[in-house]
Amino acid sequence: LRYWKAEVFNRSFLIQQEGRNRGYPHRTFSNNTFIDGYSDHLPVLVYLIREQQ
C-alpha cells in the first residue's frame, strides 16, 4: 500500500451550531455530562493506493 492523501472529515453535523462552542466539534461529553455529540476531534480520512501486480 502506498499513501496518496489525507483530509479532515468536516461535515456540518459534526460541528456545534450554537452556544459558546459554536464552530467547534460537537463533543460527546461536557463537564461529565453526556451531550449526545460525536467526539472532541474530527475524523481523518487517509487514502491508500494498492498497486496492481
32/25 Cα distance (integer angstroms): 17
* pLDDT at residue 44, rounded to an integer: 97
Give residue 30's pLDDT band: very low, low, confident or very high (50, 70, 90).
confident
Instruction: State pLDDT tens for residues 1-29.
Output: 999 999 999 999 999 999 998 999 999 99
DSSP sequence for 13-52? GGB--SSTTTTSB--SEETTEE-S---SS--EEEEEEPPP
* pLDDT at residue 40, rounded to an integer: 87
Domain boundaries, the chain: 2-49
For range 31-45, the mean pLDDT = 91
* pLDDT at residue 15, rounded to an integer: 95
